[in-house]
Structure 1
């Protein structure tokens, strides 16, 4: 399976608490909900299209608990997000959860890098990561992300958890696609494409 990361980012790279004040107030973050004024039909359409290619979900513990409190209560096969989240396998990276009641959930409590590498080796389409700021740092540090799907919003937050933190491994990405929503959000898709290449604009010595 292809491991994809879908993330909502401020222009200065913050991914924390996009959906509401109570979503992730850790470390005193009090700017939650910054995405909501920009939600429109374009955004919904792009998200829905990506959910059409998912075969399993990989989530961090905090995001899993947020999803578990909401999505099982959204019923009906006509909701493209709820129908996938409620029916497909969900793998949760955790050191604290001992059980999970949401149907289709498997807790990953061992060597997380080894377990995710094994998941990626299975046949299928997308193994999708949503939210999960802490888990994403582990994925980036261990070069496990195959594709980034990044919504960039025209806001500056100045603080909060960032997608690319201090453990980011230098890497080259290939631009796949960019779209813009009616609300002014740019939606970028990048694939992993190997190591960095370098050059120089310095004048040749005579």
Structure 2
């Protein structure tokens, strides 16, 4: 059985929307896009590179897959993250995409996300990693399918924006297995399901 690990960049008030750039995700009139850029440093880079060093496949929701495809899918810059993203098998949970042929090594998981991901998780193969895809993470968390979280907790509040858990999340206990603090004050906390 595969495991599912989630990496989420989150503010102190739980916002996960629009980390990378101003135009990344403006749904709901969100005006704080790009809030995470000034917190990047060598420690964070090393932590993210360590995660990329582990063999595994990627799991995406529709919006994040499309955004990552635009950012990384055509990159030929030699960036190790670009190379990793393009080489990885990318499973895309979506009820609206007709296909995912636009980005190499992408496989569509149609229908109910929790059901299709549960079926995938039960098959032999590489472990699955999710970066972003908050709606997908919420549905998989509710179905008890998430095994590990890596939360990059940024030292700011935004007051508005999509949160990791909007509304109630089911009672689930996790154990802190490791943590690192960056020079910019980001706490990188690694949790495993108890």
Shift of 1:124: 4.0
Q: Which residue of 1 aligns with 2:57?
A: 56
Q: Please list, as runs of the form range in 1=range in 2, the aligned pairs for 1:1-206 lying within 5 A after superposition.
A: 1-75=2-76, 79-100=79-100, 101-193=102-194
Shift of 1:133: 1.3
Which runs of 5 or more structure 1 residues have no equivalent in the other structure? Answer: 194-206
CA distance, structure 1, for counterparts of residue 115 and residue 62 of structure 2: 18
Q: Secondary structure at the match of 1:64?
A: helix
CA distance, structure 2, for counterparts of residue 47 and residue 63 of structure 1: 18
CA distance, structure 2, for counterparts of residue 109 and residue 141 of structure 1: 19
Counterpart contact for 2:95–2:112, Cα < 8 Å? no
- Superimposed CA distance per residue, residues 134-187 of structure 1 (whole angstroms, 9 cap, x where no aligned partner): 111111111110000000011111111111222411111111011001111100
Counterpart contact for 1:39–1:183, Cα < 8 Å? yes
CA RMSD of aligned residues (A): 1.4
Number of equivalences: 192
- What is the TM-score normalised by the length of structure 1? 0.88
Q: Which residue of 2 aligns with 1:203?
A: none
CA distance, structure 1, for counterparts of residue 169 and residue 55 of structure 2: 25
Q: Secondary structure at the match of 1:73?
A: coil
Q: Secondary structure at the match of 1:59?
A: strand
- What is the TM-score normalised by the length of structure 2? 0.94
Which runs of 5 or more structure 2 residues have no equivalent in the other structure? Answer: none
Shift of 1:110: 2.0
Shift of 1:79: 3.0
Counterpart contact for 1:54–1:127, Cα < 8 Å? no
Q: Secondary structure at the match of 1:57?
A: strand
